[in-house]
Amino acid sequence: MTIDKSLLTGSTTMLILKLLDESDMYGYQMIEELRKKSNNTFELKAGTLYPLLHTLEQKNMLTSYEETADNARVRKYYSITKKGRKHLSEKKEEWKAYTSAVNDVLGGATFATA
Amino acid sequence: MTIDKSLLTGSTTMLILKLLDESDMYGYQMIEELRKKSNNTFELKAGTLYPLLHTLEQKNMLTSYEETADNARVRKYYSITKKGRKHLSEKKEEWKAYTSAVNDVLGGATFATA
DNA sequence: CTCCATATGTAGATAATCTATATAATTATA
DNA sequence: TATAATTATATAGATTATCTACATATGGAG
């Protein structure tokens, strides 16, 4: 298997797809969810997320629809597609291979469990 | 602890420092070592490595010296400094925190061990 | 002698993310 | 009720890491 060179910088895409694999969400909600699930490690910026969502939609990994919340505020929900799920699955494999390789260099099994 | 935003793209620096933490090496050797230790996952390019080594030397994380090999070829060896070791230690902590956070989002303990 | 591996290096391109800025509605606060 | 903070989406421009491509030169194999 070939590791995508952009995996390091591209892990944000994987995380977004993972969130949407669990349920449809709107942008602002993704930022909050990512922050919570990672124990405040990820503070994804709006300026990073929205262009990324637009790109993923163009690539047919996501579809979107607008929905009016109780308070009459309009939110844009995103839904993962079959193509998006396939991409997520591939990225997860790459992530495992990459972290495993880094841990090998950092000292093998002794490091990862330290 | 705050996670360095450039950790994703910056893991190459950590890996280079780790190699030099074990023994002095010259550039070409680092590429080979990284490839071997990672089971061919990392194919670091010369165009990535050499400018990176120069930058790390400027930042006093490394020092260098030239040595003539048996075959009369001159090699430029790099040695890690105290400052470099401190930086490596910090990067390793960030790496652990980051991968842990990603794995949390990807499904917690069930993912990492799957 | 020619080709390949070794060895170091720079320039320019690409891509991911960030900061800064913009807009606007809702909710909380004084 | 005015004002500030939060919610919500969006774009432009800057930064940075890495890559590809190119340049140079030596040593060893055929």
Listed by start position, the domains of chain A span 7-99
The Cα–Cα gap between B16 and B91 comes to 12
Strands laid side by side in the B62-68 sheet: B25-26, B74-80, B62-68
**pLDDT score for B6:** 55
Whether pLDDT at B2 is above 60: no
CB A4 within 8 A of CB A10: yes
Q: What confidence category does residue A97 fall into, taking pLDDT thresholds of 50, 70 and 90?
A: confident
A101 contacts B41? CB cut-off 8 A: yes
Do A16 and A53 touch, CB atoms closer than 8 A? Answer: yes
In whole angstroms, give the CA distance from residue B97 to residue B75.
37
Report pLDDT digits (tens) over A44-75.
999 999 999 999 999 999 999 999 877 778 89
CB within 8 Å: B3 and A98: no
> A1: pLDDT confidence band, cut at 50, 70 and 90?
very low
Q: Which of B18, B37, B98 sits opposite A41 (nearest CB)?
A: B98
Can you read off the two tokens belonging to residue B101? 């956070």
Q: Give me the residue label for tokens 């000292």.
A: A107
| CA-CA-CA-CA torsion sign (B15, A45, A86, A55) | negative
Give strand letter and number of the nucleotide nearest A75 (CA to C1').
D8
**Chain B: residue nearest A17 by CA?**
B106
Partner-chain contact A15 B105, CB within 8 Å: yes
Taking residues B81-89, report their average pLDDT.
95
Instruction: Please tell me the predicted confidence (pLDDT) of residue B108.
Output: 59
The predicted structure's pLDDT at residue A3: 55
CB of A41 closer than 8 Å to CB of B101: yes
Report the distance from CA of residue A47 to the C1' of nucleotide D11 in Å, as an integer.
Answer: 9
Nearest nucleotide to the CA of A78, by C1', is: D9
Burial per residue of A70-95, b for 16 or more beta-carbon CB atoms within 10 angstroms, e otherwise? eeeeeeebbebbeebeebbeebbebb
- The residue lying closest to nucleotide D12, measuring its CA against C1', is A47
Class of domain B11-104: mainly alpha
pLDDT: is B7 or A34 the higher one?
A34
Name the nucleotide with the smallest C1'–CA separation from B74: C7
Size of the A and B interface in Cβ pairs below 8 Å: 67
Residue B94 confidence (pLDDT): 87
Strand (E) or helix (H) holding B25: strand B25-26
Between the CA of B38 and the C1' of D11, what is the distance in angstroms?
A: 40
Min mean pLDDT across A19-23, B48-52, B80-84, B97-101 is at B97-101
A112: burial class by Cβ within 10 Å (0-12, 13-18, 19+)?
middle
What CATH class does A7-99 carry?
Answer: mainly alpha
Residues of B in contact with A15 (CB under 8 A): 102, 105-106
CB B10: neighbour CB atoms within 10 A? 16
